[in-house]
Structure 1
């Protein structure tokens, strides 16, 4: 996983793209940039100001997590998620890094939504909220989703998820299903990638970073 993220980070640095801060500061967002700032590079001080502003307005969590922070957020999830999942969220909590090396990795200016803002990875807190809904419906007897299924992406076209286990595994298959169908007798959950690393790599190679 880390090798794949390194490649994505380098490609993201080489190809101009919106980081999380600029994504929300643009005219279609909060429109926080002054006209001269749109054309020129922002100073480190201004980046820090905008980063804090966006965190407050969007209620953004930490952009990357430690193993201990991941375990704390997952405290109500009764299974063990795979090693590759932990590798991913230690590099980006619903976001991925732009570039490598010595940077302020607590600043969202150094991250982007992967593969795009409309279909990006969930932050771990958001993922736990959706898992809570799925588990609640399961307990009420009308959800067909197995209790170890953990969501990673949730959009209008479905949910992408991985599976936990009683003993931590290196990887997990990635599943896709539609939230509207979880109570249907014909509910289907399909394997769409063999593992999470493969999904991240494929989304990168599909031209999403060009």
Structure 2
């Protein structure tokens, strides 16, 4: 039996196969556990088990032009690590109060321009971690905006969004959003989280 996370990922992949096949075929084969552990050997924190499951399922998308998540590039693991190093190099050139600061426990698995979906590593291994959105202009915050209670609830939300038309294609095969429908879905799977950015 598939885990809820993998089942949701497969639902997303199936929708893409039917509607945006280039995005489905851009998915890279999954990595073995030993390959993931080797790549993460320099990451100073333990990542949640969900991240290992995600990258065993698929190692991101080969091109940022074919999105698995709406508007965001599903980062291959080596590229995710390279973005961490890039962010640290930017940080080293600027003061610690700069907008470019990056927390060492942040792990980005998805990117849109300069914004990232991240999970936080911890000292001890854990099954789940909330998913946060780190904005390019908000690097200095200690607690970025929590958008999903876990990677699993994120994928369940996205899968239902694709399947119900909350995310839909226009005549040019570009993904559009029904914001009201998306908010309802996200509240269904993550009722404890404030989903309204305008409240800030």
The bucket for the TM-score relative to the shorter chain is 0.5 to 0.7
Q: Match of 2:10?
A: 6
Tell me, what secondary structure is at the counterpart of 2:42? coil
Unpaired runs of at least 5, structure 2: 170-200
Distance 1:12 1:178, change over 3 A: closer
Correspondent of 1:120 among 70, 73, 83: 73
TM-score, scaled relative to structure 1: 0.61
TM-score, scaled relative to structure 2: 0.64
Unpaired runs of at least 5, structure 1: 24-59, 96-107
The superposition leaves residues 131-159 of structure 1 with CA deviations (integer Å, 9 ceiling, x where unpaired) of: 11233455565254321111111213621
Residue 201 (str. 1) matches residue 156 (str. 2): yes
Residue 188 of structure 1 deviates from its aligned partner by: 5.8
Is 2:87–2:101's contact at 8 Å kept on the other side of the alignment? no
Q: Rg: which structure is higher? A: 1
Q: Match of 1:92?
A: 58
Following superposition of structure 1 onto structure 2, how do residues 9-158 of structure 1 map, counting pairs within 5 Å? 9-13=13-17, 15-20=18-23, 63-95=29-61, 113-116=67-70, 118-137=71-90, 142=96, 144-156=101-113, 158=115
Q: Match of 2:138?
A: 181
Tell me, what secondary structure is at the counterpart of 2:147? strand
Is 1:115–1:204's contact at 8 Å kept on the other side of the alignment? no
Higher relative contact order (CA 8 A, sep 6+): 1
